[in-house]
Structure 1
Amino acid sequence: MTQPVRPAARRAGNGLVPLLIAAACFVTVAVWLVVRDPQAVFLGYVWGPIAMLAAAWSLQRIGSMVMLPRVVRAFWRQLSHAAIILFLSCGTALALANNNAGMSLYVAVPMLTGMFWTMSAFLRLPLGDRTAIGWARVLLDGATVAVAGGMLFWYVVLSSAPPGTDLATRAAAGTVGVAGLLCLVVLGKAAGHAGGPIEPVALRLLAVAPMVAVALAVLLIAGSDSARLMLSVIGSPLVALSFASAAYRQRLVLSRPAAEAPAPSRRRSRAELVPLFAVALMAVLVSYVSVDEMTSRQRTLIFGSVVIAVLVATRVLIGLRDNRRMLAGLHEQQAELKRLAMTDSLTGLANRTRFVTVLTERLAAHKPATVLLIDIDDFKMVNDTMGPALGDQLLYQVAQRLRENSATRELPARLGGDEFAVLLDVEEVTSAEEAAARILQALAEPFRVGEHHLLAHASLGVAIAGPGDTADEVMRNADIAMYAAKEGGKAAWTRFEPRMRQDVVNHARLGSELHNAIIRRELFLLYQPVFDIVTGRLHGVEALVRWQHPTRGFVSPGDFIPVAERSGLIVPLGSWVLREACEQLARWHSDHGDGAIKAINVNVAVRQLRESGFVDEVAAVLSETGLLPQNLVLEVTESSVADGRQVRETLHALHEMGVRLALDDFGTGHSSLSLLRAFPVDVLKLDKSFVDGITDGEDRGRLAVAAAVAQLAEYLQLSAVAEGIESEAQLERLRDMGYRLGQGFFMAKPLAADEAGALMSTPASIVA
């Protein structure tokens, strides 16, 4: 499997290529302007469309990043549309490259359309107060600039135009100039908003485009032929370069860790002062006109009005500065609260709220979405054995590894506890499964936590959003798949399939019926005899719960026990089995006296051992039934013993009470020998899987394990019980190995209470 590319490299790579293309076009045009051939104007214009396409590519890529807020994605996507429109303007200019008649309407119309589309993109950003008064301020500022710009182009620029300049060229150039000024006003409003969603440097880079438009309008009317050609040729690559640079700057900020992201700028954008500059410009223009065309008294009145306008503008500037200073702290607090509301405080990843919000937005936009739901296997054991502080360190490192191994357009998140998720923008099964395998491989490497090297395997559920799915449904599907992965052995991934939902429904229905079965006493016990395989006498029994459903008939324990464990019903079910088994043993003692078995085996689930009152419950049942602690053997699995501190303390308390403990299915776990040192075990039960092939001379592995368990039990002075004996050959082989106790269908199937009692009143003979 190939190693995943680090996200920082991917982010840089995706944005750097179009930036380099735009920069190369700009440099090529600059070189052409130095060594240009007046007969080859076409070669100067050809680079503008190429650069604009590269800019559109860069803007579209960042506009499709799932990890960005919706308003930011919409902004960059709309800029990419504006770049496409400007590409059409560049293409038209290229087609008319040899026509020196000025700015054609075929060039001006798409250029103006692109500029107004760019302006509307900025209007979608937070511009401060979104009330009617706030919008009125924006409109008034725009109107001020439009009127001042129109007057300026009409009186000064148009009057300076060469005599041969046609009216269409002058009108188009003036309109482009005014539109550029309006773009600067709107951009300034967006840049001046504290805590805005767009990176401040990226906004400053985008200001190049309207500045180029204003300069182009002036030069097309009042500039020399050489200046007009220079800006006409280099203007498009320069605008494209500003677009691509802004997109690349935004990518660089996203590639940084959250702690390194720059704080929002508090400074007032210079572009936001354009309306005030417009007022000053008009004042100068009025003063200039009044010098020659008015009387002395009129000029005095005009000059006084200009001074008052300047004083009022200055006073407004001072007031705005004071207001901004007072509001800066509030804006920062609001931004911080918003960030905290969407970020997990421990890991710095997105939290559940942010994750579900982005997922909902993607589904509402009918975009592909896949959820990887990740749960750390056996994290509770780490938390209990090593402490919550070290557990938090492990979760932090898991989060960092998820961040490092997630692509730019993937959103990693911590949903809570030891549960994480990654949102993918794919809908192909192959891509989703490859991402799941990549994440699990990354988490399979050991973690360095303090002085420890820890393995943190995870179970992962994959859910691909289908048509009409809601965020809750996709999350629920991923959760179902994740639990299926856990049930399949953990440290694996499982992709959700529709049948799984039906399985969950069936389990829920079965759980409800099981709850009623406990109340209605539909459950009963059978007793699997345990024999002394040397003497052939009955040694004990193992209590096994069974369910006779009134309509389903017999329900297999393999069907309802997992449902009980998942739903928590295993606790009341286990309590019922414990009491029923102890009461039955007490009846056997009363009926058969010394011929009755001395102890009864009862299986205990890990959920019961986690209950703080379980030890008291066992003591109460023994007291009420008149049994001694040594009359009870509790069987637990290796995974139960390794569950955590609470379970270990419960087992030690039971052992100190005198209750004997049996390690069931011994040999199937990964740490059997180490458990014997920490676990107060009395009985080892060899798993049936080692008994099945014990008579096959070629299966040396099972034979060796079975023999080793018998020798280990003898050395540690423990009882060894062989499970699942199904033939006389197996019985003889186990007896030769040193096993004294065994159970299985060869000797006896699980029996009803009266049938098991009959074995106690008559000598059993199972040995040939």
Structure 2
Amino acid sequence: MQGTLTRAGFAVPPAVSGVLALLSVLWFAANAPAPWGPGWIGWVFAPLVIVINQAQLARLRRDPGVSPEGRRFWLHLAIAQVVIVLATMVTAWDTLSRAQTVTLAGPANTLFGIAIVTVLWALIRLPARDSIRGTAIVRFGLDAAVVILSVGLFGWFLYFRNYDQLVSAVGAPGPVLGLMLFACAAALAFSKLAIAGARGVDRRTMYFLGVCVVVSSLVGGLLPRFATRPDLNAIGVSVPLTFFLFSLAIERERSLIGRPLTERGPRRPFSLAPYLAVAATDGLLLHTRGSSATVVVVAVSLTAIVVGRQILAFYDNARLLRELDASLEEVRQAQAQLAHQADHDSLTGLANRRFFERRLSASLVAGQPFAVVLIDLDDFKGVNDTLGHHVGDALLIAVGDRMLSSVGDDDMVARLGGDEFALILGPDSAVDPAAVLDRLATALAVPVTVGSHELPVRCSVGWAAHQPDTDAVELLRRADVAMYAAKGAGKGRTAAYDATMDLALR
């Protein structure tokens, strides 16, 4: 509950800033037709909003959840705001004390210039969150070009069309050019941070700050309209409006402190900045009804850039699809490898017990003749004990390979574990299992050479043919009985199951 009250209480500054900004607009509108009321009232709103902003910034910078990059960024903006309030006060004094055309020359211009440089420095020092490489550099360049062209067009439309009047209003050409350069540079910086993201400041917060720059730049276009009104200055409106939006940006950033990026809402895979710039330019084109050649040329240029950007997007999409196909192929290969590992013995590469049992069940369901063979290597333990497990492993691998070469394509060779192997003889081999087992005995009769050792191979083999009345358990039991009968007869022998073997066990 306490956290909720604190959060709700901290939302009061933007509300108060909004009320002050609204009052400044109403006062400006009331005095636009003719002077009404004391002139100093129109200048009190700006410093009040800035005082509120400074309190917000101080609290934000003290929060331990703010990153070092973010703390430095907000400190620079706080310094710029202090300089702006000083410049505003100088302008107010100049406006209220002169019964002539308003002039912003001298100290006010210098202070505004310092504030502009401080804001740009804060933007430049703020590192991008996403690295820009490869075609992303070209995409960013095209997106930034769209924004810069649009900002430049509006700067020309608002400022340079009335350049003489604006210079007359501010008293010198320097501030006009400086304001124009500031708008373009700020647009470039905000484009970079809005498109690539910024470490230490949320992306949507950057959009709020970008709107602040747009508002402060656009209101400058009102200066020529009131060049002969010393009692009325657009700065008295632009500063409260700009810093009301700034208050919202601070509140937005404060609300995200301590929350991981995954909880800040889904991240849009693209930036709206270039599209908003194109939409604004199209709106200006409709406003001028094509009567301005400059607007038409810029609109055509933006269209060409957007087409180029789209072609690059097609290229990137094709590349991503190729990479996706390659990744999917790697996944398929990995899945196939995992499936193979799950069904095969890691040492010999033969089918394992799990795969063998599944094949046995399938053979029973198929209803065709087949036979099961169990094979046990005689005296294998002595090989491991005397020569080492590495020799025993090599022997198992060689025996498995010879078994594979002795059976048909429809037959299965499996290692059930240790020195025990099993065969499933398919319909073709089950016609004459003895012939297959003779080939196997011939293959295993040749000693296996491992290093300097020649190892004779002897196996006890038992097999049982599938009968209609046998299930998997019974069939394996019969083959096992036959194998132990062969082993009991002197090892190195082969035996086929018959019912008399069960009597012998009793």
TM-score norm. by structure 2 comes to 0.49
Higher relative contact order (CA 8 A, sep 6+): 2
The structure that has the greater radius of gyration is 2
Q: Please identify which structure carries the higher strand content.
A: 1
TM-score norm. by structure 1 comes to 0.34
